Amino acid sequence: MNSLLPGFKALQDALNTLVVGQPALAERLAIGLLANGHLLIEGAPGLAKTRAVNVLASLIDASFKRIQFTPDLLPSDITGTDIFKPNDGTFEFQTGPIFNQLVLADEINRAPAKVQSALLEAMGEQQVSIGNNTYRMPELFMVVATQNPIEHEGTYNLPEAQLDRFMLHLKVDYPSADAENAILEIARAELYQPQLQTPTAILNAHNVFAARKEIMTLHMGDAVQRYLIELIVATRKAEDYQTKASTQLQRDIEFGVSPRATIAIDRCARARAWLSGRDYVTPDDIQTVAHDCLRHRLVLSLDAESRGISTDRVIDDLLNLVPVV
């Protein structure tokens, strides 16, 4: 077994212990970390989204900052700004909260587009430009953004260009009754033992970088890679499959996904295979991450929206349409 794998297994176990009832969230955080991608988490308030990212930062000994997005937030509140120094007449750049290794953009759809786009360069280019100067982000840099699907008043939909910057779009649901009971027990214990809220670091940034190199060495057979490509191409030209399902799929999709989706599925499938202790990727790895990699990239037609068809339903149809190798 790879020497780094037990550490990441311990990280997942710690996340599942401290963030009860959200195993998919714990797994996707680990996958996003390994795949070097950013996450968009959609879920109702109180489902431990902030807690999960905070715990993850503690487990990998990384700096963490939470940014509460509000309508009056300015781009400089995120990136930082030049401060004038009257003693020598010069400007000094004061970094904003984006210059942390793990950044939680809480309720990102609360802020207008110009503020949302302040994240775009940092997420896509690993840098921020202020005036004539460019500042690099930390080598380990991961943005986890949340949005509330319940409230729509006073919110601003994320533009497609920014949505595409997120590697994964995860939907978080309510925990089960048993998990709810465990959450209550943990909340009571932490009230009397505050030290339980601060987990000990299990990994460091060097472990993460080493693991990222390893997942890219995993074997993906030609047939599996062809299956991945056919899934992507089917979102753009589903009529190639000449079935009743493909005809309907073509009507439901207005715009297919870009090559960035191909790269996202490839990396996430490799990360899942690595976390499973395998040195090869299977079609099941691809299918498992497909919804989270595609649901924010597919643009549905007006006809599909008028019939109440969800993106997840279209992805289900896509996986049923394209034959598994």
* Predicted confidence (pLDDT) per residue in 75-103, tens digit: 889 998 888 888 887 888 888 999 999 99
Give percent of the chain with pLDDT exceeding 90. 44
Of the listed ranges 41-50, 221-230, 279-288, the one predicted with least confidence:
41-50
The predicted-structure confidence for 299-323, as pLDDT tens digits, reads as follows 898 988 899 899 999 999 999 988 8
Is residue 148 pLDDT above 90, yes or no? no
Task: Say if residue 35's pLDDT is above 50.
Answer: yes
The answer to whether the Cα torsion of 215, 217, 218, 221 is positive or negative is positive
If pLDDT is split at 50, 70 and 90, which confidence band does 1 have? very low
> What pLDDT score was predicted for residue 176?
87
Between residues 110 and 224, the one the model is more confident about: 224
Q: Residues 155-168: pLDDT tens digits?
A: 677 777 778 889 99
Mean pLDDT (the chain) is 87
Given a contact cutoff of 8 angstroms between Cβ atoms, the answer to whether 298 and 314 are in contact is yes
Mean pLDDT of 259-283: 96
pLDDT tens-digit series, residues 201-245:
899 999 999 999 999 999 999 999 999 999 998 888 655 655 555
Residues in the chain, overall count? 325
**For the chain, which domains are there?**
5-209 (3.40.50.300), 217-321 (1.10.8.80)
Please say whether the beta carbons of 270 and 213 come within 8 A. Answer: no
8-17 LR contacts (CB < 8 Å, sep 24+): 8/34, 8/203, 8/211, 8/275, 9/275, 10/202, 11/56, 11/59, 11/60, 11/202, 11/203, 12/275, 14/55, 14/59, 14/199, 14/202, 15/52, 15/55, 15/56, 15/59
Q: Which pLDDT value is given to residue 189?
A: 81
* pLDDT at site 161: 72
pLDDT > 70 fraction of the chain, expressed in percent and rounded = 93
Q: Which residue has the higher pLDDT, 325 or 40?
A: 40
Question: Is 171 a residue whose pLDDT tops 60?
Answer: yes
Which residue do the tokens 């802020």 mark? 111
Predicted confidence at residue 115, as pLDDT, reads 83
Q: What does the alpha-carbon distance between residue 226 and residue 220 come to, in Å, rounded to a whole number? A: 10
pLDDT of residue 154: 56
pLDDT at residue 220, as a whole number:
96
